[in-house]
Amino acid sequence: MRFFLCVLFLSGLAWGQMRIIPHVTSPNGGFTTQVMLTNGSDVAKQITVSAFDGMGEAIRPVEMLVPGRASTVFNPADVFETQPAHLELPNDTNVQVAVAYTDAAGTASPAHVPATEQTASRWRIFPGRWSDVIDGIALVNLSGKAISVDVRQRASGGASLSVQTVLMDVPDKGKGLLLLENFFSEMEGAFFDVEADGPVALTALRFSRGCPYFWQSAALPLPDSGEPHPLIGKIANLQNKGNYGVSGSAEVLDEQTIMLRNFNYNGGGILVQIYAGMDGAYGNGFAISGDLISSTPYVNETMTLKIPAGHSLDEINGLSVWCVAVGADFGSGTFQ
């Protein structure tokens, strides 16, 4: 964990004609950071390097001179008045930017990571074998607002297995770090989608267990779908099962909201909730309501139901009035 927090680097974004070095290591964190500016032209270049702390607050910038056909290398901890968390540099096509991270003891090879020019609100990550490696993610919020970030684990065929909110209230230009194994169990063939509330720059780094060696792994930006979830607008008509008088219609309004209208239930069960699930397997689903009041009839009620944090519409195609106490479906319907 210590190595991850000390060395994470985030690839740059061509954002407002700027490139970003989103992670700078702490001076006493066990690693050193060297920024390398390489001038491919014959003319010396004066580069303004802007710096920010971990919450996105600006630090006084510095000017770096890069001679023609030469490189300038510096440790950010040596040139800024306050320790920076990440940096911004102009997107000058003649000046290339890279970072080298080296363990302070000099026992492992440095990792050289070039700045990139990509941002997306959705990214795909392919994990390694967790008995051998640790998979980590670093990201910087470039949306202009505070955001939350979810990570979704998908089966090899793309089905959603689990989703976790991994970061909340990341400020604009703020940085987030996480280890996938802290949120998910390893599954053969599974991969991960990072889903942010706005555009982020992201890098994935893989760490060898037991030694301070790491490398950059693939992080693929995904296009925003631009299309609503296919369940939005679909309706499930509840069909009674047994002697519970269940009826009503449920409509998916958006990614988090289901409206249940004209809902009827005679209140004849104990520990009964509205459950959402897939293909009628409601025992494997999740509650989207609190306990329905026992012995109290519901007559043409309207209820606003919310998909809870950590779940999504990808996991459901129907609803049930579900008796948790005995695992019984009192009435259910499939969205169509």
- The 10s digit of each residue's pLDDT in 250-301 is 999 888 899 999 999 999 999 999 999 999 999 999 999 999 988 889 999 9
Single-letter amino acid, residue 223: P
pTM of the shown model: 0.66
pLDDT of residue 18: 81
Single-letter amino acid, residue 87: L
* Residue percentage of the chain with pLDDT more than 70: 94
Nearest of 243, 193, 247, 239 to residue 220 by alpha carbon = 193
Q: What's the sign of the alpha-carbon dihedral 286, 292, 298, 303?
A: negative
Contact 73, 65 (CB under 8 A): no
pLDDT of residue 207: 86
pLDDT of residue 211: 82
What's the CA gap between 101 and 139, in Å, rounded?
Answer: 17
Residue 20's Cβ-side half-sphere holds a number of Cα atoms within 13 Å equal to 29
Identify the band that residue 15 occupies on the pLDDT scale cut at 50, 70 and 90: very low
Identify the band that residue 13 occupies on the pLDDT scale cut at 50, 70 and 90: very low
Over 50: is that where the pLDDT of 109 sits? Answer: yes
Distances 105 to 2, 28, 74, 101, 108 between C-alpha atoms, Å: 15, 12, 19, 12, 8
Q: Report the run of H or E that residue 4 belongs to, with start and end.
A: helix 2-7
The average confidence (pLDDT) of the chain is 89
pLDDT of residue 226: 65
Over 80: is that where the pLDDT of 227 sits? Answer: no
Contact 200, 142 (CB under 8 A): yes
The tens digit of pLDDT for each residue in 134-165 reads 999 889 899 999 999 999 998 887 777 888 99
Residue with tokens 């006493």: 28
What's the whole-number mean pLDDT along residues 202-225?
84
What's the CA gap between 229 and 189, in Å, rounded?
Answer: 25
